Amino acid sequence: MSVRDTATEAYREALPVVAVSAVGGLFAGVVLGGMEAELARIQGLLLLVPALLATRGNVYGSLGARLASALHQGLVEPRVDLGDERLRAAVAAALANGVLVSGFAAFAGFALLAGLGRDHATLPTLLGVALVAGIVSGLVLTVVVVVAVFLGYRRGLNPDTLAGPVVTTTGDVVGIATMLAAARLVLALGGG
Partner 1 sequence: MARWTVRGIVADMLPVLLVLTLVELGSGLVLDTFESTLLQYPSLLVLVPVTIGMAGNLGAIMASRLSTATHLGLLAFEPTDATLAGNALATVGLAATLFPLVGAAAWAVQALLGGATLSLGAVVAVATASGLALAALAVLVSVTATYAAYRLGADPDDVVLPVVTNTCDVLGVLVLFAVVRLAV
By the rule CB under 8 A, 192 interacts with partner 1: no
Size of the site for partner 1 (CB under 8 A): 71
Question: Residue 61 CA to chain centroid, in angstroms?
Answer: 8
**Which residue, 44, 163, 48, is CA-closest to 101?**
48
Q: Which region among 113-121, 136-144, 151-159, 183-191 touches partner 1 (by CB under 8 A)?
A: 113-121
Cα distances (angstroms) measured from residue 20 to each of 8, 14, 17, 70, 78: 19, 10, 5, 26, 25
**Residue nearer to partner 1 on the CB measure, 75 or 151:** 75
Least Å distance between CB 120 and partner 1?
A: 9
Contacting range for partner 1; rule: CB under 8 A; set: 19-27, 121-129, 136-144, 149-157: 19-27
Among 56, 64, 109, 170, binds partner 1 (CB under 8 A): 109
Cα distance between residue 95 and residue 78, in whole Å: 20
In this structure, what DSSP letter does residue 35 have?
A: T
Least Å distance, CB 189 to partner 1, is 24
Closer residue to partner 1 in complex, CB, 30/143 = 30
- The Cα–Cα gap between 48 and 39 comes to 11
SS3 70: helix
* Using rule CB under 8 A, residue 118 touches partner 1: yes
Q: How many CB atoms lie within 10 A of CB 107?
A: 14
Within positions 56 to 75, which residues make up the interface with partner 1, using CB under 8 A?
57-59, 62, 66, 69-70, 75
